[in-house]
Amino acid sequence: MKKLLSILAVSSIAVSTPLATIACGKNNEKPTDEWDFEKQKQLMLQLVNSIFQGNLKSDFDPFFYIDENNPAFNHNYIEFAENLADFNDVTSARHESVKTSISNLINWDAITKAVQTAIVENVNFKQLLVNNQSPIKSGYEISELNFALQPESKTVIIDFEITCDVSFKDKIGAITFEAIRFNSKITIFKEVDVAEEFNKIKTEYLNHFNDEIVSGSFTIKSDKGDLKQTSNTINSDQNIKSQVKTNLVEIMNKVGPLGINLLDASLAIETNDKLAVDSTAGEIQPLFSLAESSEQDAANAAPQHLPMRKLVRDALSGVEGKSEEFIKGLLDYSSTSLLVRYSPSGLPSIGTLIGKHEKMSSVFNFYFLNWNYFSDGAQYKQIKLAMDSQESNFKPNVERDEKTIALFRTEISNLQLEYGNDKFDLPTTSIMVRQETLKANTLELEEQFWSDSFYTFKKLVNFDENTQFSNPSLQYHLNKPTGWDQYENQEIPADDYFDDIWAANPEASAIRDNLSLTAVMARRSSALKLTPITTIKFNEKGGIYFDPYYSGGREIPMLHFTLFSNDMSGLKMNGLYFNRDTYKFASSWTDNVESIWQFNK
């Protein structure tokens, strides 16, 4: 059964590597127009976690394989072998000695300084901080510490977990905590020469995948904008996995000594949509609005805007040839009648930049991709942070990335080295997988984006060639989902139910799914921001009303289309939507005013 109430759950973030982390903006990041508690909490927690994971991995990777003479530890193999139970006794002096040695390897000062800069000095996190103090002020603890012996190879494996409680204020101002965890291993070899061979392999393995060319040599071809869908495709892509294995063979052929084998049967390739960098930036704001009728358009619009309004109205109404003309106008960067494009602050005019290339999109392009990758913004910073922490040399390249529309930081894990009958984990590392368009160029992809967005909308609201006669006011008519009569005059959560509206119109869904477009019902909450609607309510006449009350003005909710799904920094006006003015406004279903949104009768 679907949920009728939104339930807010608090859960721990428990990850053993930097894989599942997202970072937020730098200390001088501008405050967001609409402060969203849940979104900012998530960003803060995941940025803290990203710093925590990346720094600790840098601290402990050099000690992944060591020999018993390493000065970091005061115990040799024989002592471990003869006193293993004592080392595993959490009350013993030996157990405490190793715990102290591990603590000495942690550069906690570097972590606290990074959190101070990224979190405490970021204005967007002020409302979350307890007394404006660091969320990791309570420090850390080594929460797990276990020892295992491998007698044949004369090694002891130290398996440990480091935990940190992140403090913050909840919605009502109460202090709460979430735990973040780092897990790693240290293998101590009795034989110095064996430890040296293992370290040669580890070093070559890490350096190899940090190489600028190797790290960025992995590609998946897809036009899909749903980043979660693409990340799942990457995780199961056998070509990428095969390419990784080929590189592993090259590494072992170069440095792998006889007697040590690399095991890749369990190789895992892992990414997710929060580890993606897309190629859109700045803002794209449609300039067209439509009134209830062409007469009202003439009464309310400036004379120079009337041709544009007529084109949009004719395109939606089904006038022959006007849909194609409208899409062509959206695609024309030199035209300023339909769209206004804003490049990110500090980036030159995108028109100047793409003019250096043949058929490069002004919406999805290398320059926005590169801008995002090096950005301090909320949804991208953690990716560059993670690559820097492992000393990767990857970077976007203007010649290489003309067709690249997204980057995915992808983790290589579950590799082992075999020595005799014993097996030893290799540390994880990351590569960058490029998503390239299947089209000849990104301009062709942009054309399909505008076309699919436009025709998806028309199909969803049941506009066709007869609309100019049957529905001259362009009222939006949705198909009512099967079984929805039971929800009449009830508020239902949009997140749980809006998919039913798509399911009720499979033709619209099919067009949307060509590129896996993201379509969000939202209200304009500020000049360049949109706020997604939260509730749906409809009456016995079929009138549909979104949100019971809206304090920001009586804006009609509009369906907003974007190519890429990632939206950690707030829904921006960066796609296609149709704004309506001077229509019969209804800010609440209780207004008893006819809504522009209706269910088909």
Where do the structural domains in the chain lie, given as residue ranges? 11-190, 191-279+364-438, 441-599
pTM of the model: 0.89
Neighbours of 19 (CB within 10 A): 19
Residues 244, 340 contacting (CB under 8 angstroms): no
In 3-state terms, what secondary structure has residue 189?
A: strand
> Can you read off the two tokens belonging to residue 138?
């309570």
Report the C-alpha gap between 475 and 456 in whole angstroms: 16
Q: Which of 245-249, 307-311, 577-581 has the lowest mean pLDDT?
A: 577-581
Q: Where are the alpha helices (DSSP H) in 374-423?
A: 381-389
For the ranges 156-165, 283-292, 519-528, 590-599, the maximum mean pLDDT occurs at 156-165
In 3-state terms, what secondary structure has residue 322?
A: helix
Residue 74 predicted with pLDDT over 50: yes
Mean pLDDT of 282-306: 81
Greater pLDDT, 222 or 472 = 222
One-letter identity of residue 431: I
What's the pLDDT at 601? 78
What's the pLDDT at 571? 45
pLDDT (tens digit per residue) in 197-224: 999 999 999 999 999 999 999 999 999 9
Report the C-alpha gap between 81 and 74 in whole angstroms: 14
Residue with tokens 């206004």: 340
Strands 141-150 and 268-270: unpaired
What's the pLDDT at 545? 87
> Can you read off the two tokens belonging to residue 107?
């550069």
Greater pLDDT, 286 or 197 = 197
One-letter identity of residue 426: L
Mean pLDDT of 410-438: 97
Report the C-alpha gap between 161 and 144 in whole angstroms: 5
Report the C-alpha gap between 79 and 503 in whole angstroms: 66
Residue 376 predicted with pLDDT over 70: yes
Strands 492-493 and 518-526: unpaired
Residues 386, 18 contacting (CB under 8 angstroms): yes
Report the C-alpha gap between 313 and 306 in whole angstroms: 10
Residue 67 predicted with pLDDT over 60: yes
One-letter identity of residue 133: Q
Report the C-alpha gap between 4 and 19 in whole angstroms: 33
Q: In what helix (H) or strand (E) does residue 435 lie, and over which residues does it extend?
A: strand 429-436
Residue 445 predicted with pLDDT over 50: yes
Sign of CA dihedral 187, 192, 194, 199: positive
Report the C-alpha gap between 106 and 103 in whole angstroms: 5
